[in-house]
């Protein structure tokens, strides 16, 4: 077994420091089991299940559907790239915190599968509020961010709506018509 792992490491040209730093044989075994692709997460299934139990989510099976979080940015406000990045970070964190309380097992599965995030655009606050209402009616986490008004945008302006993390299919039924940002 050790000889197979060493030969796999040499064949894949994995530097020894990465093997040691990223978990030694566990890392290599994960790489081999995934057909040579780098693991999306360094957590093992048992560690993720234990983390979910600690957070109150209980043990869970492998996810049946892909999970993602969408960040819907208002384009009518004329925000700079930096402002958009900061507002998206606020929305992602707000969604993560809410989902950790409401659906810890979904968050654990999302973390294990690479934490997919997609940035989309919408044209108005009215459209954003409509999307938020649909998401909440569907039982999804939906958090909109209101700006503090210290820089470019008027105080109280809704800048970004985060939906998820949740099942890709459910989120796509609400936001699938929106264009990528």
Structure confidence at residue 143 (pLDDT): 97
Instruction: Please check whether residue 49 lies inside any domain of the structure.
Output: no
131-164 confidence digits (pLDDT tens): 999 999 999 999 999 999 998 899 999 999 999 9
Query: Distance (Å, rounded) from C-alpha 45 to C-alpha 60?
Result: 10
Q: Closest Cα partner for 140 from 115, 180, 167?
A: 167
Number of domains in the chain: 2
Instruction: Please check whether residue 145 lies inside any domain of the structure.
Output: yes
Structure confidence at residue 19 (pLDDT): 52
> Do 91 and 170 share a structural domain?
yes
> Do 120 and 83 share a structural domain?
yes
Instruction: Please check whether residue 120 lies inside any domain of the structure.
Output: yes
> Do 71 and 128 share a structural domain?
yes
21-58 confidence digits (pLDDT tens): 445 444 444 544 455 444 444 333 434 444 444 455 44
> Do 165 and 77 share a structural domain?
yes
Question: For residue 140, what are the contacts with CB-CB under 8 A and spacing of at least 6?
Answer: 163, 164, 166, 170, 171, 174
116-151 burial code (b ≥16 CB/10 A, e <16): ebbebebeebebbeebbeebeeeebbbbbbebeeee
Does a cis peptide bond (omega within 30 degrees of 0) precede residue 66? no
> Do 73 and 33 share a structural domain?
no
Instruction: Please check whether residue 59 lies inside any domain of the structure.
Output: no
In which domain, by residue range, is 92 found? 67-175
Helix (H) or strand (E) holding 122: strand 117-122
Query: Distance (Å, rounded) from C-alpha 116 to C-alpha 50?
Result: 22
Q: Closest Cα partner for 90 from 146, 42, 154?
A: 146
The answer, as to whether pTM is greater than 0.75, is no
Q: Closest Cα partner for 112 from 33, 41, 26?
A: 41
Query: Distance (Å, rounded) from C-alpha 39 to C-alpha 112?
Result: 9
90-137 confidence digits (pLDDT tens): 999 999 999 999 999 999 999 999 999 999 999 999 999 999 999 999
Question: For residue 5, what are the contacts with CB-CB under 8 A and spacing of at least 6?
Answer: 25, 28, 29, 32
């Amino acid at each position: 077994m050790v000889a197979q792992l060493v030969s796999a490491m040499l064949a894949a040209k994995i530097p020894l420091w990465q093997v040691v730093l990223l978990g030694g044989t566990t890392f290599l075994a994960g790489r081999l089991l995934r057909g040579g692709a780098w693991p999306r997460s360094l957590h093992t299934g048992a560690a993720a299940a234990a983390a979910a139990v600690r957070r109150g989510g209980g043990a869970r099976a492998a996810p049946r559907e892909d999970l993602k979080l969408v960040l819907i940015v208002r384009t009518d406000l004329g925000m700079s790239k930096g402002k958009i990045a900061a507002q998206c970070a606020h929305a992602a964190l707000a969604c993560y915190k809410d989902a950790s309380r409401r659906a810890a097992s979904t968050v654990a599965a999302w973390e294990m599968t690479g934490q997919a995030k997609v940035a989309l655009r919408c044209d108005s606050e009215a459209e954003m509020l409509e999307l938020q209402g649909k998401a909440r009616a569907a039982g999804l986490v939906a958090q909109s961010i209101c700006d503090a008004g210290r820089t470019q945008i008027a105080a109280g302006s809704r800048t970004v709506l985060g939906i998820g993390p949740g099942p890709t299919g459910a989120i796509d039924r609400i936001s699938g018509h929106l264009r990528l940002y």
